[in-house]
Each structure stands twice: as C-alpha cells, then as structure tokens.
Amino acid sequence: MNKRIAIIGASDLQLPLIEKAKQMGYETHVFAWAAGDVGEKAADHFYPISIIEIGQILDVCREIRPAAVASIASDLAAITVNRVANALGLPANPVETATIATNKYEMRKTFLQAGLPTPRFLLAGPEDDLGEARRLRLPIIVKPTDRSGSRGIFKLESFDRLEECVAASSRESFEKKAIIEEYIEGEEYSCECVSQDGVHHFLAITKKFTTGAPHFIETGHMEPSGLSDSVCEQVKRHVFKALDALHVRCGASHSEFKITPDTGEVRLIEIGARMGGDCIGSDLVKLSTGNDFLQMVIEAAAGEKISLSTGEPRGYAAVRYIMNEEDYEGYMALRKAEPGRIVREHVHFEKGGEVLDSSTRYGFYIVTGASEQEARRLAMLQP
C-alpha cells in the first residue's frame, strides 16, 4: 500500500500533522518556503517550494504519487491542498470550496444565498467610496477578506476612522480588500467537524476567549464549551447547512459563531474548510472527547474510513496564550506549583514586545481539568 503523504506547510501549525502521519506509518513529504521551520527537520523529505507554488508542488507530487495531500490550520495551504489533490484524483473538496471558504466576502454571499442568518455586509478597498458603509448599523467590524490570525481587525463605534481602518485592513489582505459588516453581539465559539463523502460529523464545540475590541486576539480556548444540549443541536443544524452551502465534502472544518445575548440565536461568523488553529484541532478535541482529529484528517485525505469514536467528553481541556508579563508570571507559577497539570507547552516570552495579532503571541500552554472551573483556573481564563 502507498504510504506517502504530501503535507503543505512546515510551520509549528503543521508539526502535529507531520508527527501523527509518521505514527500512522506514512512517509512524510513536506512542502514550504525554506525558513528553518520545525517541519523542515521533522519531515522525511522536505521540498523548499512555497505553498503558493501550486504547479511546482503538483509536479513533484506526480513523481512521488502520494496517497494523500493534507494540511491543518492554514487557509492559504487549504487552497493548495484542494488544487493538488483534485489534480491527482485524491479525496478533496471542490476547488471552489477553498476559494470561497478563504474569502470572508464570498462566504458571506454564500451564507446569504443559503438563507443563513447573516449581518449586513459589503466589500471595500482603500480607494472606494464608503458612503454605503456609513448606512450600516453601528458598531461595525472591518477586517481583511482573506486573512486569519486576528490580523487587521477593527471594531468601530462610529464612522470617524472608517477610511483609515479600511485602508489598514486592506493592506493585510492578499487581494487588498476589506469586508465591512454589522457587529454581532454575543459570546464567541467554534464548532469542530470532519466530513467524508459529503457527510458531516460533529466533534466538539470550543469556547473562545479574546482580548475584546478593537482587535479580538485569541487569548485561549476551552472544550467542552458549556453550551446546553439544545443549543448544541441548533449549532449543528446551522453549521451542517453552511458546510453544504460551501460544498465541503472532505476533511476538517472550523466554524466560528456567536450566541446572541438577547435571543440566544446562533449567528455564523465564518467557516474555515480546515482544522482550527490555536491547538484546537490538534490537541483540545482529542483531550476533551477522545476523538483523534488529526488521524481523521489523514484518513479522509487518503480516502480511508475515518475512525470516529463515541466522542464522549473525557474532561475539560484548555489552551492559554501568553500575551504579556503577567500571563508569563502566572504560567511560571503554575509550572512551579502544579507542573504535572501542563499537557503541552511552547513559551518564548521576551519583555518589551507588543502582541499585535495571533502570530506575535508569546507561546502557549495546554491544561486539562476534571471540571470547567478547574480548567479555567489552571489556564487563567476569566468567566
């Protein structure tokens, strides 16, 4: 049996996938721009080809003939995965799925056409007339159409800085465009799923913790979410309908949503046709449910029957990101007082820096607890 897998990307995000593929007996072929990333060393074979060079990656894959093409937690890599896998006749989503699922404006249009609850929104660039945007209901959110990691996000309570924020968001965008939309109030969550042959399987709901306005940088995540069974069922209905609208048929998905405080409605924010980052898919899902999400991603990419377990909660799992010196001191105190409670960690704190987005955080640590309260305490996550 062919046990070669092509993995797109070599950063820290991809390391769990590379390691899991090796555990499953795969020979790993990793593609990324040569930058000294951990995946370069962990791979059995590394190719210094940028993940956006789809043609070059495809040429190599036609020679090595992998059984699967995969990546996790990267919108940009997801586009390459789909195009390469489709060209090789391997399981993948339709090419247009990755394009829509990595562009927030195109995704909003798809949700609207599918009859899913969608805030008013519009597309804008730095040179555009923003008169129509000024008719939206405040507050509004301005963000790049095609970036993740909390880059270039602004919440505005007035229109005074609208042009400035659209320009800043557009600079962060690959296509130099921003989406402006009415802000959805409520607590934020994500729904983790895996799909095979167009059938969606629910795995977990994750509670998100952020810095709040203006940039909403994630400070941590926790599973289970604490939502009631009835709300979880409502979430699944909305998410599955949205996945169908996006034509997601294969692999992981990460659906972000809010629960409105006044009516308790589920309002979709965006969906990634890939595993969630921030250790959600690679760590929290398995720790909290027993479902090996990484293994399922590889199985789906190889066309093998995915190994679904019962998904019964095994406890609470949380990841906490280091944002400042206070967070670092709390992490060090936990290491000293309860060192066995940290499941995995990667911290590189330096004084004087400022966290501007997810990529500039000072690392993370993951804990487990028997209760929500215990997990929150260990991860220093506020109620």
Give the start-end residues of each E strand in the chain.
Answer: 4-8, 27-31, 45-47, 68-70, 121-124, 140-144, 154-156, 178-182, 187-196, 199-210, 218-223, 251-259, 266-272, 316-321, 342-347, 363-369
Average pLDDT over residues 223-247: 96
Q: What confidence tier does 359 reach under pLDDT thresholds 50, 70, 90?
A: confident
CB 282 within 8 A of CB 275: yes
Model pLDDT, residue 311: 60
340 or 61, greater pLDDT = 61
Q: Is the pLDDT of residue 2 over 70?
A: no
Angle 216-220-224 from CA coordinates, rounded to 5°: 120
Q: d(Cα 14, Cα 18) in Å, to the nearest integer?
A: 6
Query: What percentage of residues in the chain have a pLDDT greater than 70?
Result: 98
Residues in the chain: 383
Q: d(Cα 181, Cα 158) in Å, to the nearest integer?
A: 13
CB 133 within 8 A of CB 124: yes
Q: Is the pLDDT of residue 104 over 90?
A: yes
Model pLDDT, residue 214: 75
Q: d(Cα 45, Cα 196) in Å, to the nearest integer?
A: 28
Model pLDDT, residue 310: 60
Token pair listed for 123: 């597309």
Give per-residue pLDDT as tens, 130-148.
Answer: 999 999 999 999 999 998 7
Cβ neighbours around 329 below 10 Å, total: 12
First-last CA distance in the chain:
50
Average pLDDT over residues 99-123: 93
Q: What confidence tier does 379 reach under pLDDT thresholds 50, 70, 90?
A: very high
Give per-residue pLDDT as tens, 160-190.
Answer: 999 999 999 999 999 999 999 999 999 999 9
What is the distance of C-alpha 354 from the center of its chain? 23
Q: What confidence tier does 352 reach under pLDDT thresholds 50, 70, 90?
A: confident
- Does residue 91 have a cis bond before it (omega within 30 degrees)? no
Helix (H, G, I), strand (E, B) or coil at 341: helix
Average pLDDT over residues 68-88: 95
Of the candidates 244, 165, 243, 219, the residue with the CA atom closest to the CA atom of residue 365: 219
Average pLDDT over residues 311-337: 92
Query: What percentage of residues in the chain have a pLDDT greater than 90?
Result: 87
Model pLDDT, residue 212: 86
Any idea which of 88-102, 181-195, 348-362 has the lowest mean pLDDT?
348-362
Single pTM value for the model: 0.93
Of the candidates 135, 211, 140, the residue with the CA atom closest to the CA atom of residue 179: 140
Q: d(Cα 364, Cα 342) in Å, to the nearest integer?
A: 10
Give per-residue pLDDT as tens, 250-267.
Answer: 999 999 999 999 888 999
